[in-house]
Amino acid sequence: MTQIGENTTLQVKARQALDNIKPYTPGKPIWEVQQEYGLDRVVKLASNENSLGPSPKALQAIQERLGELHRYPDGLSAKLTHALAEEFGLASENFLVTNGGDELIVLISQAFLEQGDEIIVPDPTFSEYAFGANLMASTIVKVPLAEGFQYAADDLLAAVTEKTKIVYLCSPNNPTGTYLPEAELRKFLDRLPERVLVVIDVAYRHYVTAEDYCDGLEFIREGYPVIALHTFSKIYGLAGIRVGFGVAPLAVVNTLLKVKEPFNVNALAEAAATAALHDHAHIDASRRMNEEGREQLYQGFRKLSMSYTESMSNFVLVEIGEKAERIYQQLLERGIIVRYAKSWGFPNHFRISVGTREENEIFLRALEELV
Ligand SMILES: Cc1ncc(COP(=O)(O)O)c(C=O)c1O
C-alpha cells in the first residue's frame, strides 16, 4: 500500500533535542517471530516478563470493571494509591501512579531537567533514563559499574558536578542483575549534595534474596530527596496493561503532578494493579519459579563453561562468546527470543529472562546444540 508522504521531507522543524533520539526498537514480538519463521510455538525470554502469566485476581478485577468503560478513570488512581499507602505504611499523597514505570521516568525528566543539566547513570543500565534526559536536552554522564558489574558509590560520587540534577540507581540493575547494598546507598546519599534528586529504580525488587538489599523506602522516610520507581510489569505479570508508580517525599510528588496528564492510567490498569497487589499466592509462586529458574540457568551455563553474573533479578547476563550474534539469530529461527546485549556494548553477551522450567530447558538445550 502507498504510504502517504513517502517521498516528501518534513519542512516543519522538530525540536533540536530530538536529533539525539532514535525511536525505541523493542525486541521482536512473538507474533512476528511466528510469522517470519513459520513457527507455532515461540519461547520469549527477552523482556523480563513473568512467564507464569498475569495475576488471576487482576484478570478477575478487569472483568468486573469492563461495564464501566464509558466512564473516565480516576485521575489520581485513588483506590490503588490507598492500597499502596496501606501496603507501604506511608500516606497516599506520597504515591504517584503512572502509565508504567516508563511514564514516571518521562515525568521526572520533564519536571526536573533543564537544558544542560546532567544526569548520572550506571553503565550499562536501563535505556529509558537516557531517553528522558535526551528529551529535555540534558547531558548523560555514564559511570561504568566496577568489577563484576558491581556498584561502587565512590565512582558515582566522583561523577557529580555543579550541573548534576538526577542520579539514577537501578537496583537490581537491568541488564546486570547486580544491586546497590544498603550501606553503599547510605554512604552515597550522605555525601551527595541535597540539590540532586536520586531515582532508585526497584522494578525487580521482589526477586532479590540478598539480605543487605534496600529498596530506598527507609531513605524516603528519613527525608532524603529520593524517589523509588516501581512497576506492575514484572512480578505481578501486568506488563501489557501498563502500570507503575513512584514513592517520594510530598514536594517531589507535587512537582510531578504538574506535568502528569489528567487520565494517565486507564481504569482497567488501576483495577488490575489494585487486585494484583494483594495476590500473595501469585507473587509467592512467581518468586519461587524465578529462584528455581535462575538456578537452572546458572547450572546450564556452568555446564557450557559460560560465565554469568549472579543476578538478584528475573534475568541473567551471560557471556556466550564471539559467536553470540550468530547464536542469537539461530535461536530466533528456532523460535527462542533472548535479548542480545550488543546495544549495551556487550556483543558477546545475552540477557536471558528467567522463564518456566520448561522454557528454560528449551533454551538451554538449543544453546547447547548451537555452541
Ligand atoms: C529497570 C527497569 N525500570 C523500569 C522499567 C519499566 O517498566 P514498565 O514501564 O513496564 O513499568 C523496566 C522495564 O523493563 C525496567 O527494566
Mean pLDDT score, 234-258: 98
- Counting ligand 1 atoms within 8 A of each CB, the residue from 24, 96, 103, 128 with the most, and so the one to mutate, is 128
Query: Are 355 and 218 within one domain?
Result: no
Q: How far apart are CA 105 and CA 167, in angstroms?
A: 12
| Residues of the domain holding 109 | 56-277
Residue 229 near residue 202, CB atoms below 8 Å: yes
Which among 277, 302, 332 is the end of a domain?
Answer: 277
Q: How far apart are CA 211 and CA 329, in angstroms?
A: 38
Q: What is the DSSP letter of 123?
A: E
Answer whether 231 contacts ligand 1 (Cβ < 6 A).
Answer: yes
Burial annotation 329-338 (CB, 10 A radius, 16+ → b, else e)? eebbebbbbb
In a domain, residue 209? The reply is yes
Answer whether 27 contacts ligand 1 (Cβ < 6 A).
Answer: no
- Give the three cell numbers for residue 64: 468486573
The CATH number of the domain where 139 resides is what? Answer: 3.40.640.10
Query: Are 151 and 86 within one domain?
Result: yes
Q: What is the DSSP string of 11-67?
A: -SPPPGGGGG-----PPPPHHHHHHHHT-S--EEESS---TT-S-HHHHHHHHHHGG
Burial annotation 243-272 (CB, 10 A radius, 16+ → b, else e)? bbbbbbbeebbebbeeebeeebbbbbbbbb
Give the model's pLDDT for residue 9. 87
Q: Is the pLDDT of residue 25 over 90?
A: no
Number of domains in the chain: 2
Query: Are 122 and 263 within one domain?
Result: yes
Residues 204-222 have pLDDT tens digits of: 999 999 999 999 999 999 9
Give the model's pLDDT for residue 193. 96
- Give the three cell numbers for residue 336: 527462542
Query: Are 135 and 40 within one domain?
Result: no
Which among 227, 257, 277 is the end of a domain?
Answer: 277
The CATH number of the domain where 291 resides is what? Answer: 3.90.1150.10
Answer whether 264 contacts ligand 1 (Cβ < 6 A).
Answer: no
Give the model's pLDDT for residue 343. 93
Residues 260-277 have pLDDT tens digits of: 999 999 999 999 999 999
Q: Is the pLDDT of residue 359 over 90?
A: yes
Mean pLDDT score, 73-81: 97
Distance 202 CA to ligand 1 centre (A): 9
> 199: closest CA among 258, 150, 130, 291?
130
Q: Is the pLDDT of residue 26 over 80?
A: no
Report the nearest atom of ligand 1 relative to the CA of 232: 11
Q: Which of the residue ranges 108-112, 153-157, 241-245 would you say has the lowest mean pLDDT?
A: 153-157
Distance 205 CA to ligand 1 centre (A): 12
Report the nearest atom of ligand 1 relative to the CA of 239: 10
Query: Are 209 and 233 within one domain?
Result: yes
Which among 253, 277, 301 is the end of a domain?
Answer: 277
Banded pLDDT at 6 (limits 50, 70, 90):
confident
Banded pLDDT at 10 (limits 50, 70, 90):
confident
Q: Which of the residue ranges 3-17, 178-192, 324-338 would you say has the lowest mean pLDDT?
A: 3-17
What does pLDDT average to over the chain? 96
Query: Are 93 and 216 within one domain?
Result: yes
Mean pLDDT score, 279-293: 98
Give yes or no for a cis peptide into 124 (omega within 30° of 0).
yes
In a domain, residue 11? The reply is no
Distance 255 CA to ligand 1 centre (A): 22
Give the model's pLDDT for residue 28. 84
Residue 211 near residue 238, CB atoms below 8 Å: no
Distance 4 CA to ligand 1 centre (A): 34
Distance 207 CA to ligand 1 centre (A): 14
Answer whether 274 contacts ligand 1 (Cβ < 6 A).
Answer: no
Q: What single letter denotes the amino acid at residue 95?
A: F
